[in-house]
Amino acid sequence: MNCLECATRFQRETTAVSTCSQCGAASCVEHTSVGKATVAEHSPGIPSSLPLPGRRLFCPVCAPENAESLR
């Protein structure tokens, strides 16, 4: 499997090392970010978000602001 970002933006074939936990796109080391995911919890009058356990891998499109690059 090849990195989607490398294939679409740079027209090169790079082996993927992960898939995005949000959209499922394949990513190489250069385009993979590690971060935490949250889930929105809706209750009357008190919206909140709860952190999910463990780390998540993201592509550049889906990466949250606090995600860290693998490189």
- 64 contacts 51 by C-beta, under 8 angstroms: no
Q: What is the DSSP letter of 30?
A: T
Q: Quote the pLDDT of residue 9.
A: 95
pLDDT per residue of the chain (71 residues) written in tens, 0 to 9: 999 999 999 999 999 999 999 999 999 999 999 998 888 888 788 888 888 899 999 999 999 888 898 87
Residue 29: both structure tokens together = 């080391």
- Structural domain spans, the chain: 4-64
The stretches of 1-71 forming alpha helices (DSSP H) are 4-9
Report how far Cα 12 is from the mean position of its chain's Cα atoms: 21
- 12 contacts 5 by C-beta, under 8 angstroms: no
